[in-house]
Structure 1
Amino acid sequence: MSVMLWAVAAVAVTVAVVTDVRSRRIPNWLTAGLTLAALVLTAFAGIHSLLVALATMSVTFVLGTLAFACGWLGGGDVKLIAALGAVLGWPDTAALLLYTAIGGGLLALIVAGAAGRLGSTLRATFALALPLLYPGVAATAPTEGVKLPYAVAIAFGTLCVAVSHTYVPMLRLAL
């Protein structure tokens, strides 16, 4: 992946974090611009790179749409992750999704701790996991949730992927 593409992605993710923290929204012009830049710049690398970018973006968008339908992600988060799928291609998008999930979990713990709700959050998380440990036990969904600026977690995932290409290659997933 080109340095230019990394730079564009870094700027877009930074703007996404700022807007998501301030207003809990990621603007369409940002995700559309990142998608367009990714597709144009990968096209210069050849048709194969462009097809990989399109396929990765499409699969990521479909998976994100399912998460959106379940209420796990916002629409802007889905579009940002799909745009980053076009930027990163395969297998780096798989790493992005994994590191973003880890970042989201850490963010949730930080927000819950800051709100004085860490204990109840951990109990609710354990209650959701009970059916996995004890088949036949019904899961109890949390009654209320806190909206997280998930662009922060996406930025964490993007940073982990970038670092895996430079300073800490052991972070790279062997796919």
Structure 2
Amino acid sequence: MAFTTRIIQSLERQARGLLLLGTLLDKELEFLQEDAPQSVAGLEFSIQELVRQMMAEKTWAAECMQQLSPGARELQDVGHLFSKEEQQHIQSLKKAIDAGQQQCARKAAMNADIAQALRDQSNGLLAFFRKQIMPRKQYTYSSHGRWEVHNQRATLISGRL
């Protein structure tokens, strides 16, 4: 199979991967709104694996471009090797990939903000409950587990004679 065909197929897979990533981010938002942390954690593994696969796909496409033209860094460097129809298809794929990346970035930022807000809310509630259940006086019980009566008068010596 020609490297040009492989590059086009790689771009198609990247575009489909971004559509899937957008769907997963929508599902993550749904789980965040339902306050389902276990589901969010499980979905996060899928999202991270998809991002890893997409980066591997992008790296593989760059290696194919290097095979076509040593020193090629961008798709523009090998664009002249594609037919007119392929160039048009590549342009539409690049637009779809760019739009997908921007959409996924917005969704990921929104999910991150919601997750941060939920974490802050949970920490605030935890601090409130902790403050409510902690004894007002620090030394309520003695080290022997008995009720310790505090003497409010100043004394120089305390103990038994």
Q: Give the structure-2-normalised TM-score.
A: 0.29
Q: Give the structure-1-normalised TM-score.
A: 0.27
Larger RCO of the pair (alpha carbons < 8 Å, separation 6+):
2
Whichever of the two has the greater Rg, that structure is 2
